[in-house]
């Protein structure tokens, strides 16, 4: 019985691996040369984009020229600023929830 479970696991892993190889061949190479011209965004740009990310997400649903994350960024510093900026929304939301809980207890 134990051999059957091992065979089933091996077959499942093999099918998953073959599927991964097969579907990776479908990847499309995106040309982004036009996006990489102009201003390069750094930490402060990432911070601003993180803060306005919820609004950008809504705008993205209706317009094709709006993105949440800038293509032309300098890498880790932009990403760090973006994480800090987008994390601020969670902090603000939790503060509001705490004040509502405190009012209910009184």
Summarize pLDDT for 23-45 with one digit per residue, the tens. 777 767 767 676 677 788 899 99
Q: Classify residue 94: in a domain, yes or no.
A: yes
pLDDT in the model for residue 105: 57
Q: Classify residue 89: in a domain, yes or no.
A: yes
Q: Classify residue 67: in a domain, yes or no.
A: yes
Q: Classify residue 13: in a domain, yes or no.
A: no
User: How many domains, in total, are found in the chain?
Assistant: 1
Check residue 41 and report its DSSP letter: B
Q: Classify residue 50: in a domain, yes or no.
A: yes
Q: Classify residue 80: in a domain, yes or no.
A: yes
- Dist CA 34 CA 46 (whole Å): 20
- Dist CA 96 CA 99 (whole Å): 5
Q: Classify residue 52: in a domain, yes or no.
A: yes
pTM tops 0.75, yes or no: no
- Dist CA 67 CA 57 (whole Å): 7
Domain that holds residue 89: 40-98
- Dist CA 78 CA 27 (whole Å): 26
pLDDT in the model for residue 14: 93
Contact indicator for 73, 85 with CB cutoff of 8 Å: no
Q: Classify residue 28: in a domain, yes or no.
A: no
């Amino acid at each position: 019985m134990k051999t059957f479970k091992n065979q089933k696991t091996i077959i499942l892993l093999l099918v998953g691996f073959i599927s991964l190889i097969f579907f990776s061949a479908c990847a499309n190479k995106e040309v982004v040369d036009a996006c990489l011209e102009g201003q390069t965004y750094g930490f402060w740009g990432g911070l601003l984009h993180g803060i306005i990310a919820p609004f950008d997400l809504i705008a993205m649903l209706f317009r094709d020229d709006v993105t949440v994350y800038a293509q032309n960024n300098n890498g880790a510093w932009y990403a760090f600023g973006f994480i800090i900026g987008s994390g601020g929304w969670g902090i603000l939301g939790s503060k509001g929830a705490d004040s509502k809980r405190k009012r209910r207890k009184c």
